[in-house]
Amino acid sequence: MHVIRHQQQAYPESLIEQERVVADILAGNMPPSLILTEHPPVYTIGTSGSDADVLMRHVDGEAIAVYPTGRGGEVTYHGPGQLVCYVIADLRKQPDLHRHVWRLEEMVICSLADFGVESSRDARGIGVWVNGLKIAAAGVRCRKWITFHGIALNNSPNLKHFSGIVPCGMLDHPVTSMLQLGLDIPRAALERTIIAHCNSLFDPLQDSD
């Protein structure tokens, strides 16, 4: 695997990049990749969601774009301060999507533990939770056993933006962030621990400029 970083990336551009990486992996021209990025404020609708889950498109003085996406799951929010981790993994030797999602969650659980945050999975849905509040949302898609999309960790996003949707089908908006938990973590430090745990859970990673 190699690591691709973007300070911020428009959501449609991210989809194009992921599709390109998937195609290159299938063609044998590129190794599996971890893409680390942030997006401008956007609501994305997964294959189990609908427009009805988008309650408002202007929240806290900002217009928020809406895009359908082919990943699993319902509606979620992406925005500045949220570290999005797209793991483009090759599962052709281990075709197990449930195991892949477990690894995505574990990558975040272990990373949060490095900063003293105890987190876990929850029966309410896929993702990572702290004290009954969701701190990371996951959704994946698979093409010929190459995965894309991934997991998004709330470091310091504007949590008010979640009020414009029914996040992951949950009407009570049970979301939190590392900042809300009292942690002001620079993105670079968060990336380092994410990469370390991704390295231990997936294939070894090699940095890319």
176/208 Cα distance (integer angstroms): 31
pLDDT of residue 147: 96
Instruction: State whether CATH 3.30.930.10 applies to domain 2-204.
Output: yes
| pTM of the entire predicted model | 0.94
92/166 Cα distance (integer angstroms): 34
Burial 41-73 (b: 16+ CB within 10 A, else e): bbbbbbeebeeebbeeeebeeeebeeeebebbb
Q: Is the pLDDT of residue 152 over 50?
A: yes
- Residue-wise pLDDT for 41-70, tens only, equals 999 998 888 888 999 999 999 999 999 998
Catalytic residue of the set 85, 110, 142, 168 = 168
- Residue-wise pLDDT for 183-209, tens only, equals 999 999 999 999 999 999 997 544 443
- Catalytic residue flag (residue 168): yes
Does residue 11 contact residue 42 with C-beta atoms inside 8 Å? yes
DSSP 8-class letter at 32: -
User: Where do the domains of the chain lie?
Assistant: 2-204
- Average pLDDT rounded to a whole number, residues 155-173: 86
29/204 Cα distance (integer angstroms): 17
